[in-house]
Amino acid sequence: MSPIRLLNFLIVFLAVLILNPQVSAITGEKAQTLARDAVSLNPELSRQAVGELRSMEAEGLKTLFEVYAAEIKNHFDGRDSANWEQISAALDAVAMQKNAFASGLYWYTDFEKAKQAAQREHKPILSLRLLGNLNEELSCANSRFFRAVLYPNAKISKILRAGFVLHWQSVRPAPRITIDFGDGRKIERTVTGNSIHYLLNSDGELLDALPGLYSPAAFSDWLSDGAQIFQKYNELSDSLRPDFLRQYHRLSHERIEQRWRENLAQVDAQTAGKLTADKTADLSAQNLVSVSAARAANNAFGKKIVEFPSVRETALPSTEKLLALEKETDVGDWQKIAALHSNDSQLDANSLVLMRLQTGLDKANFARLISNFENYLALDTIRNEYVYRSKLHEWLAVSTVNHLNQFNDRVYASLFLTPKSDAWLGLYSPDVYAALDGNGIK
């Protein structure tokens, strides 16, 4: 903030205090009273207090964290207070996210309110689409992993709180399966389902998308790039914005092909050698946002926007190369490529504490669990990046998205292979005999 703007802010702030010095104190006292009522054992009092804190948006959640800072710290240290269950429930209800104590993030579930907040704060929107609800324990597996390894991550949480307005929307309920051992023991899990993060401008227009689970390092990089895309997009005139996005996605698509080819050459030179590559410019060191903005600006030269048919109406030239790479990259190669990116999948201290609290494992078993999970995380990241995200870049490079929900339907139908038309998400087929009345359908 410039010295002049800071001085103006202080003058206005002091004027408010002079005219009514008790305003801030009264507001703070009311919020703290609501925070105490939110954990009351009286269900109606708690419900009303949570509702009022929720209506205060991020400030309401902030008050809960301030009032119960000691209890939250004790929980991280494994020493729960007697009313921790009520405190945790209040935090989740105001934040609209399960395990909100670990992330401190406030999520909108009303898209119009999210847009209003984004316009008011001049921020992009990060909109999550998932199966189930983010504030419930048994949402889809990927969204649970987001809550464990992405949102609590100290760096990511800070970026999200400072730079984004957060919103989530359920696509459909997450299917669950219960295994009953008949002796009182049960295992309950979700099956199938996927999640996707959308980067939107303040008006809800789609800028970029990240499908599935990514490592903390990759997710953090994507958020940083997203902030630049949002800024550059807003700086351009309305006539230039569509071409800016198409060029960004075209270049991103090409760079994925380049990185994938390079990774495959590192782990399987013989297979990589069978795939011919054109003599194209090295994109690895280029800032895609800057390059895209420059290309979009050049399109306006002579007061005329140049239409690129290859960008607007046809598949990208490198799409065929990506399909060839996907065909030639087998399971063993995927695992070796994932190993190249293993450092990006290391979890931070906050995530490790949360996962330790959830699992209750001893030190040795927990170490094995984390090692296995970080390997899985690295593999999922590069698969999502090279296979799923490349397809998203192709779609976004050749057409403009006017309706996010319709685009999301396409993602779930064609990318995640869980279309709305399949009520059973591929888990049931009438052609399979189960030797059960009604084929086990209830």
Cα atoms in the Cβ-side hemisphere of radius 13 Å centred on 34: 25
For 263-274, b/e burial (b = at least 16 CB within 10 A) is bbeebbeeebee
pLDDT at position 288 is 59
Tokens representing residue 346 in the block: 């290391």
Contact 393, 249 (CB under 8 A): yes
pLDDT at position 17 is 42
pLDDT at position 11 is 43
- Three-state DSSP string of 199-260: EECCCCCEEEEEECCCCHHHHHHHHHHHHHHHHHHHHCCCCCHHHHHHHHHHHHHHHHHHHH
Q: What is the number of helices (H) and of strands (E) in the chain?
A: 21, 7
Kindly tell me the burial class for residue 6, based on how many C-beta atoms sit within 10 Å of its own C-beta (0-12, 13-18, 19 or more): exposed
Kindly tell me the burial class for residue 352, based on how many C-beta atoms sit within 10 Å of its own C-beta (0-12, 13-18, 19 or more): middle
Residue 194 identity: N
The CA distance from 361 to 88, in Å, is: 22
Which residues touch 363 (CB under 8 Å, ≥6 apart)? none
pLDDT at position 286 is 57
Q: Which of 230, 202, 234, 34 is nearest to 113 (CA)?
A: 202
E-strand spans in 292-343? none
Residue 259 identity: R
Q: At what angle do helices 349-359 and 363-383 cross, to 10 degrees?
A: 120
- Residue ranges of the chain with per-residue pLDDT less than 50: 1, 3, 6-26, 279, 299-314
pLDDT tens-place string over residues 260-294:
999 999 998 888 787 766 545 555 555 656 655 55
**DSSP 8-state assignment for residue 302:** G
Q: Which helix (H) or strand (E) holds 188?
A: strand 186-190
The CA distance from 221 to 39, in Å, is: 37
Which residues touch 239 (CB under 8 Å, ≥6 apart)? 300, 305
Residue that is written with structure tokens 């929980």 in the block: 75
pLDDT at position 271 is 81
Largest CA distance in the chain: 79
pLDDT tens-place string over residues 310-341:
333 445 667 778 888 888 899 999 999 999 99
**DSSP 8-state assignment for residue 175:** P
Residue that is written with structure tokens 């048919």 in the block: 309
CA–CA distance from 78 to each of 45, 72, 81, 357 (Å)?
A: 29, 10, 10, 8
pLDDT at position 268 is 87
Q: How much is the pTM?
A: 0.86
